A and B are shown apart, each in its own frame.
Chain A
Amino acid sequence: MLTRRQFNEALGIGAAGVAATSWIGARGREGGFLNAFEPTLEALDAGTICLASNENPMGPGKTVLDAIQKAFGPTGGAPGRYSSAGGDLTDAIAKKFNIKAENIVLGCGSTQILRSATHLFTERTKALVGTIPTYEECAGYADMMGNPVHGVPLDPNFKMDLDRMADAAKGAGLIFYCNPNNPTSTYVGARATREFLFKVRRTSPDTTVLVDEAYFDYVTDPDHETHIPLAIEDPHIIVARTFSKAYGMAGLRMGYCVGHPDTIRKMADWDAGTGTSSLNVLAMQAGVAAIQQDPSVITAERERNKAVREMTMKWFADRGMKPTESQANFVLVNIGRPAKAFREACAKQGVLVGRDFPPYEKTHCRLSFGTMAEMQKALTVFGDVLGKPATAAAA
């Protein structure tokens, strides 16, 4: 187990506190996140292929966009009103998972959920535990509050090392369990996750586990299920979900947390009033439409992503550049050179790829999946930049 200081060093951050605000990341918040380290992405030009932020290139689809437009109201006055659509969205989510409204709290993206959980469950003496690397929102917020952060290295396959995680969990306040994990895209099966959760509950009963299922809908591994049923029974387990990924609504800012009513009440209470007031009406109406649409829409998105994923992973594997075993809409690839040089060279050719992810920034780059057409173009650029033209290497 690394100390907080080692964790920070491993992340290349330096002394705790000094750069604290600069590493307050948000999910995929590449531009703002590392302002100190790299320039903000310029506004996307038409034709630019953005593979940098784990977004869904297809967007939310017509049904959802129609719902947004409908939310303008017959005279266009509705956005001028405070909205109570959160109740409808909560009900729609409850129906989808066959749970109750009291099991759900909404957030302005899952960012708000992650922040609330970190605020509530970490203390000066109760650390946040997460893998190195993982999505940084919780660690950044804990650090800002002056609460300790314990980073746990991944196993050699870039998967979460559950034994070490469970060790680190003892006495911790909150475990951030991001599965599939960002930026590694690796996935721990449902059975192993369940065993891990049970173990932590036994060995550290006061520790809360936040299971972040942001990329849930992209998983194709058959050993796959949501941990929402565990969460609604156990006050120490919560599940975070977002509309930003498979639902294609990263720009709308809507996420939610599912858990036991007592825990949900705490989460809602902490940000109460102001928590709800962070939710915009268009996102809430979009969320209702997205949840209620035919499930085949998400299935189709999963299949679309899978095809692009397989093509991309094969392309790199064929060229001796090992990708992680991706179960998400992105992959971490060993390109054998600093991500920065690769990123800058690709950007010159109109392809934006992921930022640095210490401690792997010297060897690995995270690539989000675009559309098949975007990815085919991007692979040509990658071949050019990496000195491995697609045609030659394919032979």
Chain B
Amino acid sequence: MAISRRGFFDAFGAAGRPALSGAVLAARGLEAHLATAWAQDPVQTGTSTGTGTGGGRQGGRGQRPQLPPGVEEIRINSNENPLGPGKVVLDAIVGKFPEANRYPFNSTPKDADLVAALAAKTKVKAENIVLGAGSQEILKNAMRAFVSPYRGLLTVAPTFENCTGFARKMKFPVTEIKVDSSFKLDVENLIATVRGAGLVYFNNPNNPTATVLGAKVVADFVERVRRISPDTVILIDEAYHDYVTDPTYETAIPLAMATPNVFVARTFSKAYGMAGMRIGYAVGQTDTIKPLARLQMPLNVSVLGIAAAVASTNDPKHIADECARNTEVRAFTVKALTDLGAKSTDSQANFIFVDIGRPAKEFRDACAKQGVMVGRDFPPFENSHCRISIGTMAEMQKATQVFRDVLHPMAPIANPSKGGGGFHDAGRAGGGI
């Protein structure tokens, strides 16, 4: 679908879309309270704890359905790490209580120490790193720095919508390229559309579709974009990097370090289990990330966050264990749903994107009644697919029981007899586990 340059700007320009609504906007996993922050109207997404921020409502109070006594809510709607950061990190936080009164440049470790630790870990220099209050600050400042009314955002449908939301809010043009038939980023169509774009948002693995592109494909994409549209900045968001098991995948950090106008965003919110701590960073050539450094909010990471991030960066085994745990639970969940006839995309993250053969809303509401909170709508797949984050094994065992109840009230959880069939077929299958 080649779109002319004009088409690029016209495609989804400010006038071309309805006003923002919480239903189509996501923050990274913050379905409830951040997604709605864009909208004026509080309470949008119908998930757990939503209210908007505009006019004084940051975050919100619980609006969860009443659950029967003894039923604990299972939150698998926000791609969070259910275990948190782990004991080493929590100990590091408590250890820094005596420095809660110190600014992050006076603490031990201080902000520069975190930058140094990240530089060592990613094999770059400190000058190649910009800290963010979560990677969302990086994404937001990338919109401010690289996108304008004249140079739009090129992104994906569906993908993490933080950039999209901000660009629309700023009335910058936005073009969305639908994922391909295997729910991967459609590099050919992105390349066909990229000329003149201010920035390409390239989420790999992609949220919510959970798919990943291999290193060769990414390198080829970058090379072709550079040739066609050298001024376009490429933001490769590797939020879910640690969870990837596909052997063809590699981080794009070396690519970014070798290529102007390319940078990688990372976060401590996923495998590192610190979504609540708000720590992310950008890595790239100094000239590329200079605008992000200029826009960086001073003192954006707390003293406790710095200590936590340094401690976890120095504990790679913990992350490896967390990823192994996720891989196991992910495989279990994918199989359980496949057995119910609900096919998942090839997940390389801590969530799966599942064809449930019915509107996500219907499924979500039904699961919520049983205390299982699953992902919100992801147009254009909101009538067939649901995003489910991977909780603990115990949580997913319970959750898959609920999924079975909701998808097939009469069927047992596993139904190998109809492998490959749609859930409609599976629905007819009685019998065996």
Interface residues of A (CB under 8 A from B): 21, 24-26, 28-32, 40-41, 43-44, 50, 52-53, 55-60, 64-65, 68-69, 71-73, 75-90, 94, 100-106, 108-109, 111-112, 115, 137, 144, 244, 248-253, 261, 264-265, 268-269, 271-284, 286
Contact = CB atoms under 8 A, between A and B. Distances in A.
B276 to A, nearest CB: 3
B302 A253 contact: yes
Contact of A272 (B32, B53, B278, B293): B53
A280 B305 contact: yes
Given A87-B60, A112-B297, A280-B278, A251 B302 contact: yes
B329 interface: no
A259 B96 CA distance: 34
Interface string B338-379: 000000000000000000000000000000000000000000
Contact of A277 (B32, B82, B84, B133): B133
A282 B297 contact: no
Given A24-B298, A44-B108, A85 B59 contact: yes
Given A56-B101, A278-B297, A77 B83 contact: yes
Contacts of A271: 140
Contact of B33 (A57, A86, A103, A278): A86
Interface in B6-34: 25, 27, 29-30, 32-34
B61 A249 contact: no
9 contacts: A59-B98, A80-B80, A106-B58, A108-B300, A268-B54, A272-B38, A274-B139, A278-B136, A281-B277
B107 interface: yes
A89 B93 CA distance: 21
Contact of A82 (B38, B78, B105): B78
B415 to A, nearest CB: 32
A87 B51 contact: yes
Q: Which of A68, A87, A274 has the most CB of B within 10 A?
A: A274
Contacts of B50: 84
A106 to B, nearest CB: 5
A43 B96 CA distance: 13
A84 B274 CA distance: 14
B323 to A, nearest CB: 14
Contacts of B104: 251, 253
Interface in B42-61: 49-61
Given A68-B304, A86-B33, A76 B56 contact: no
B300 A265 contact: no
A50 B274 CA distance: 30
Contact of A87 (B58, B166, B305): B58
A103 B56 contact: yes
Contacts of B429: none
Interface string B133-144: 110110110000
B102 A55 contact: yes
A84 B59 contact: yes
B165 interface: yes
B303 interface: yes
A264 B134 CA distance: 23
Interface residues of B, number: 85
A31 B169 contact: no
B37 interface: yes
B406 interface: no
B100 A251 contact: yes
Given A21-B294, A32-B105, A43-B110, A268 B84 contact: no
A288 to B, nearest CB: 11
A108 B276 contact: no
B289 interface: no
Nearest to A257: B56
A246 to B, nearest CB: 11
A87 B100 contact: no
A252 B136 CA distance: 19
B138 to A, nearest CB: 10
Contacts of B52: 272
Nearest to A352: B106
Contacts of A282: 93, 276-277, 302, 304
A154 to B, nearest CB: 24
B67 interface: no
Contacts of A253: 104, 299-302
Contact of A32 (B33, B38, B298): B298
Nearest to A263: B55
B152 interface: no
Nearest to A77: B84
B300 A87 contact: no
B106 A82 contact: no
A57 B55 contact: no
Nearest to B83: A77
A207 to B, nearest CB: 22
A115 B297 contact: yes
A250 B105 contact: no
B90 A76 contact: yes
A249 B304 CA distance: 11
Interface in B268-284: 269, 273-278
Contact of B100 (A72, A88, A104, A249): A249
Given A31-B110, A273-B165, A108 B85 contact: no
B102 A250 contact: yes
B150 interface: no
A265 B90 CA distance: 35
